[in-house]
Structure 1
Amino acid sequence: MRLSVIIPVHDERPTIEQILERVRAVPIDKEILVIDDGSRDGTREYLQARPPQPDLRVFFQPENRGKGAAVRRGLDEARGEVVVIQDADLEYDPQDYRKLIEPIDQGLADVVYGSRFLGWPRRVLRFRHQLANRFLTTLSNLATDLNLSDMETCYKMMTRDVAKTLRLRSDRFGIEPEITAQIARLGYRVYEVPISYHGRDYWEGKKIRWTDGIAAVWTILRCAFAADEHDEDAGYRILQRMQKVSRYNRWMWQQLEHFVGNRVLEVGSGVGNMTRFLLRRERVVATDLNERYLRILRQLFGSYPHVTIDRFDLNDGRPPPGAERVDTVLCLNVLEHVEHDDRALASLHDLLEPGGRLVLLVPALRALYGSLDRALEHRRRYRRAELLDKLRAAGFEIEDSWFFNLLGVAGWYLNSRLLRRTTFPPLQLALYDRLVPLLRVESRFRLPVGMSLIAIGRKPRRR
């Protein structure tokens, strides 16, 4: 497992040579990436004059943009399976890499934070600095629902797959809470380990200022309420926001649970909002065709021995590599994306063992089709008779069907047809999640209309 050590540097001429020696002395297979962020004290000239070394790559920013910009550059350039951020000021000891990498190497963690407040030795410095750090960590924990002891630590180690899913934009010290917010939002497994810390004072070159604390507060709040606005993938934005409506997700699962067997193929798993409910089944194959989603699924569920993560494109209908017959295919909000849905249904029929079930959920009511559907690349919304006819044509017997989520009709029409939005506002979803008791009342009745349509198709048993 190769480690990429990212060292953002700005005016660190007194320490740059020593930190490089300390990093190189750690007996771990690694590459060192130094990103000079417009230094003017001779650091840049020193780096330019160093002879080339196979384990060292140096990048020069055209101007001073801040630590966050330098870290982003390093993450883009990293080639190792694991990456870690290393300040150049000698406050953090590279010998701690071995403690940081252990939970990742053992398959326990996707991200590891080195906490200055759990370890020793630790230089005693100003109380107000510690107080500010505790405040920022507490505020971040409230926003992310993590229980970190040191959010602001420089030592953040993560797999490269995790790093590639981050969409960072902070240029300065706001990078710390931004990384934390996105890691929490993506649901990665986070560990903390104790590290030593030898902090320096301002006369020794410490750069962080009180204004950076204010900027960190702003970043925490921005990430809490609009963390994914910059992401161009509308489907990803909605999936991430839907991850937070835990009551709604659980209610949806409860509507389907008794139809789901023990060997399940989930088609279009996305970021795992429903996959997490399948973990008690004997065998789970979670699939998607989006590489970004597959990376997230592997990070979340790859350590479970009974879970397989595979690419599966319902458009071509070819089964995942090594796929076996299953007793249940779970296909939620996927069929509407497929050009030839009749062929897709026939393919799903073939993947089922005799007597197996297809649990299908699709958007209903053509009158609701609007900007949200276009952003999500929906090709259609279904009529009930149309869907059931296609299921029968694919060889299924109809076990049950019903409309689902009448309460959502008004919200979809408002956002998609009237306001022409491409995603749901987070606060609106949070409010909707609180209305699940009303949805539970609705589910006691078989209403003639709803935002979605659920159908249960059974593959006939051999005679």
Structure 2
Amino acid sequence: MKVSIIVPVFNEEKTIAAVISKLKGVELKKLGLEKEIIAVNDASTDETRKILSEIPGIKVLNHSKNRGKGAAIKTGIANSDGEIILIQDADMEYNPKYIPPLLKPILEGETEVSYGSRFIKGIRGNILLTHELGNRFLSFLTSVLFGQKITDMETGYKAFKRSALSGISLKANRFDFEPEITAKLLKKGFRIREIPIIFYARSFKEGKKITWRDGITAMLVLFKYRLSD
């Protein structure tokens, strides 16, 4: 069985080589898995494309213009062939050491969808207070609208069987990808298994890109897909 690790990338020249190195170092053979790493460069304007081109053993896809994180993930999925798909951010906020425990419940047949949660009781990182409050609210809203308790809907660590996406049309091209895929998976009846992770947030000065406006969009997306497909 193969896991396809999709890495959407935009202007991450400072971190992308380290992220790929850590991904290469993740041992999955003991779990009976082989892995492919697919980096999707979303028209970066820094040295990201050059750095990626010099890294052996990975698949690199390049967008000709910036289309957004969701579009990059969809490009990666369309060009992957693993039975399991895992999304890995390129900014070092999510540590690849959590990949094996994230995949374990899928491999053991407990679930078809697994999320890494930053907010499970007792697990802490350095997430910004404003982002934590916003994420907790959006997760609460997701739980209310779709009838399953979710503690971290916006997490960048998501893994799922390819078969879980069958019949799901993903339309979001930017950060609204997170609420869209969560809403559509829940509407199809999938139970999302959450695994505790520790998260180390960047500041906006360091390159963080998501803002409060994306939070408003996420809320609207959740209501939209509660009411329609």
> Normalising to structure 1: TM-score of the pair?
0.47
Which whole-Å CA distance do the structure 1 matches of 2:203 and 2:121 have between them?
A: 20
Q: Which stretches in structure 1 are left out of the alignment for 5+ residues?
A: 228-463
Does residue 1:204 correspond to 2:206, yes or no?
Answer: yes
3-state SS of paired residue (2:208): coil
Return closer, same or farther for 1:108/1:178 CA change in 2, 3 Å cut-off: same
Correspondence for 2:156 = 154
Q: Which residue of the other structure, out of 29, 43, 49, is the alignment partner of 2:48?
A: 43
Amino acid at match of 2:73: V
Residue 81 of structure 1 deviates from its aligned partner by 1.3
Correspondence for 1:23 = 23
* Contact residue 5 and residue 83 of structure 1 kept, 8 A: yes
Q: Which residue of the other structure, out of 58, 61, 65, is the alignment partner of 2:60?
A: 58
Which whole-Å CA distance do the structure 1 matches of 2:9 and 2:64 have between them?
A: 13
Amino acid at match of 1:36: N
3-state SS of paired residue (1:59): strand
Residue 206 of structure 1 deviates from its aligned partner by 0.5
1:152-195 deviation per Cα after TM superposition (whole angstroms, max 9, x unaligned):
00111001111343211011111001011110111123211111
Which whole-Å CA distance do the structure 2 matches of 1:120 and 1:14 have between them?
A: 31
CA RMSD of aligned residues (A): 1.4
* Contact residue 9 and residue 39 of structure 2 kept, 8 A: yes
1:297-326 deviation per Cα after TM superposition (whole angstroms, max 9, x unaligned):
xxxxxxxxxxxxxxxxxxxxxxxxxxxxxx
Residue 61 of structure 1 deviates from its aligned partner by 0.9
Which whole-Å CA distance do the structure 2 matches of 1:117 and 1:217 have between them?
A: 19
Which whole-Å CA distance do the structure 1 matches of 2:89 and 2:200 have between them?
A: 12
3-state SS of paired residue (1:200): coil
Alignment size in residue pairs: 224
* Contact residue 120 and residue 195 of structure 1 kept, 8 A: no
Amino acid at match of 2:171: R
3-state SS of paired residue (1:222): helix
Which whole-Å CA distance do the structure 2 matches of 1:215 and 1:183 have between them?
A: 19
* Contact residue 120 and residue 197 of structure 1 kept, 8 A: no
Q: Which stretches in structure 2 are left out of the alignment for 5+ residues?
A: 29-33
> Normalising to structure 2: TM-score of the pair?
0.93
> For 1:214-233, what aligned pairs fall within 5 Å after superposition?
214-227=216-229
* Contact residue 36 and residue 61 of structure 1 kept, 8 A: yes
Which whole-Å CA distance do the structure 1 matches of 2:9 and 2:193 have between them?
A: 27
Amino acid at match of 1:130: E
Residue 82 of structure 1 deviates from its aligned partner by 0.7
Which whole-Å CA distance do the structure 2 matches of 1:11 and 1:51 have between them?
A: 16
Residue 79 of structure 1 deviates from its aligned partner by 0.9
Does residue 1:10 correspond to 2:10, yes or no?
Answer: yes
| Identical-residue share of aligned pairs (%) | 39
Which whole-Å CA distance do the structure 2 matches of 1:86 and 1:133 have between them?
A: 18
Does residue 1:168 correspond to 2:166, yes or no?
Answer: no
Which whole-Å CA distance do the structure 1 matches of 2:65 and 2:137 have between them?
A: 32
